[in-house]
């Protein structure tokens, strides 16, 4: 667990770019669980841990990065969470923002709720006094929302009571019997919505057609080619100057791809938030800029790390020289930019490569020793 504010996250982020063969001792791994017992209270907390459980009280803001998080107690201030699995059943005195693969909200939120995830469920017990903004794949809203709501996903189900205007953008939209909407209902879908007789909409029911899909043009192909050339030049320079920056994380990614993904996915969202908070807090702008710079470098090189790891897994060997590493990287990097020409794959590919890159760098830092980078070629050739 790291509870030294943004400074702790900065150390972790900077350490992610270090080579595994450096002499400095590795940072201590976080404990298995961070817990605030029911009778305990803590002030503002910045926490990085595999598992978090809060049954007590956080008297100020809570910034949490975890694989699993369960908050059944009270958070008096803002809540910021990035987690794989999240359960919020407590009382939250201000705004709640989270990113999670799977999330369930059954508590009370005094402010706004803004969330992104693969599967998001707002249960019938949930109460939200402010705005609701949800972006996911499968989204279910069955609680009580006092403010306006905007919901996006592939499959959206709405029930409960929503007092304000509601906007839904989804392929599949379902309104459960007994749903009550106090304002307008605007939905963006290719299919017309048929309301159950038990559904009440006080305002207007407005359907909007989804925007037409844009086809692939020559300009897109030329742009991807330019980005591919640029990435290849950057990779060549890194392999010539400091090959361990790419090769060592790639080795860890090949050995433990799931662990790298679980480390990288929460960090993908949490680090920009921490950089922004650092820039506007007493810690100062320089710290926020350093965090942003490290984040940008690691996410940009994520595609290179992923390409190297894939080649190592397929050939079952490590690149012996810098030149071999470049040859290992070339097919995967080419496939990455070629698949990116498909509009539906571009964003998921970037997110996957960035998450794997972040996770591989973190894994390389937290788990030493690692295989050394390829040695320089012998001789003059």
**DSSP code for 198:** T
For residue range 159-213, list pLDDT tens digits in order.
999 999 999 999 899 999 999 999 999 999 888 888 888 999 999 999 988 876 6
Average pLDDT across the chain, whole number: 81
Residue 330: partners with Cβ closer than 8 Å, 6 or more residues away? 232, 307
Q: How far apart are CA 353 and CA 306, in angstroms?
A: 6
For residue range 79-128, list pLDDT tens digits in order.
988 888 999 999 999 999 998 889 999 999 999 999 988 899 999 999 99
Bond preceding residue 239 cis, omega within 30 of 0: no
What residues pair up with 44 in beta bridges, in sequence order? none
Q: How far apart are CA 339 and CA 178, in angstroms?
A: 44
What is the residue extent of each domain of the chain?
112-212, 218-366
Q: Is 59 exposed, middle or buried (0-12, 13-18, 19+ CB in 10 A)?
A: middle
Q: Where are the alpha helices (DSSP H) in 171-321?
A: 218-241, 244-255, 257-280, 285-300, 302-315
Encoded tokens for 180:
């009550």
How many of the other CB atoms lie within 10 Å of CB of 18?
Answer: 18
Judge whether 79 and 65 are in contact, CB under 8 Å.
no
Per-residue pLDDT of the chain (381 residues; tens, 9 = 90+): 333 333 333 334 434 333 333 334 444 444 568 999 999 999 978 887 889 999 999 999 998 878 899 999 999 999 988 888 999 999 999 999 998 889 999 999 999 999 988 899 999 999 999 999 999 999 999 999 999 999 999 999 999 999 999 999 998 999 999 999 999 999 998 888 888 889 999 999 999 888 766 555 666 677 778 888 888 888 888 888 888 888 888 888 888 888 888 888 777 877 777 777 666 665 566 777 787 888 888 888 888 888 888 888 888 888 777 777 888 888 888 888 888 777 767 778 888 888 888 888 888 887 654 445 555 555 444
* Strand ranges of the sheet holding 166-175, from the earlier edge strand across to the other edge: 34-36, 45-54, 62-71, 79-88, 96-105, 113-122, 132-141, 149-158, 166-175, 185-188, 205-208
Alpha-carbon dihedral 309, 311, 313, 316, rounded to 10 degrees: -130
Element (H, E) at 364: helix 343-366
């Amino acid at each position: 667990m790291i509870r030294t504010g943004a400074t702790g996250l900065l150390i972790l982020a900077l350490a992610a770019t270090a080579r595994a063969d450096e002499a400095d001792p590795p940072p201590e791994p976080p404990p298995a669980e961070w817990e605030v017992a029911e009778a305990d209270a803590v002030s503002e907390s910045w926490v990085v841990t595999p598992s978090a459980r809060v049954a007590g009280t956080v008297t100020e803001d809570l910034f949490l990065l975890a694989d699993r998080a369960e908050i059944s107690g009270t958070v008096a201030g803002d809540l910021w969470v990035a987690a794989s699995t999240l359960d919020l059943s407590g009382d939250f005195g201000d705004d709640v923002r989270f990113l999670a693969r799977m999330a369930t909200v059954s508590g009370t939120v005094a402010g706004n709720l803004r969330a992104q995830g693969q599967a998001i469920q707002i249960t019938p017990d949930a109460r939200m006094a402010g705005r609701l903004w949800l972006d996911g794949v499968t989204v279910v809203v069955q609680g009580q929302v006092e403010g306006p709501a905007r919901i996006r996903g592939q499959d959206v189900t709405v029930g409960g009571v929503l007092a304000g205007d509601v906007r839904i953008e989804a392929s599949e939209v379902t309104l459960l019997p007994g749903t009550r909407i106090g304002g307008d209902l605007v939905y963006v879908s290719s299919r017309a919505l048929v309301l159950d007789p038990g559904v009440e909409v006080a305002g207007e029911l407005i359907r909007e057609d989804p925007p037409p899909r844009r086809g692939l043009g020559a300009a897109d192909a030329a742009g991807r080619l330019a980005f591919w050339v640029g990435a290849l030049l950057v990779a060549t320079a890194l392999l010539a100057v400091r090959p361990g920056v790419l090769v060592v994380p790639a080795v860890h990614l090949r050995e433990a791809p799931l662990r790298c993904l679980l480390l990288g996915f929460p960090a993908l969202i949490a680090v920009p938030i921490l950089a922004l908070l650092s820039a506007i807090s007493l810690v100062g702008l320089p710290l926020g800029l350093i965090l942003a710079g490290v984040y940008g470098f690691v996410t940009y090189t994520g595609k290179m790390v992923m390409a190297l790891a894939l080649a190592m897994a397929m050939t079952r060997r490590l690149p012996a020289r810098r030149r071999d590493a470049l040859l290992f990287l070339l097919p995967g990097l080419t496939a990455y930019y070629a698949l990116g020409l498909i509009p539906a794959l571009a964003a998921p590919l970037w997110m996957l490569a960035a998450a794997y890159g972040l996770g591989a760098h973190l894994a390389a830092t937290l788990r030493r020793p690692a295989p050394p980078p390829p040695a320089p070629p012998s001789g003059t050739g």
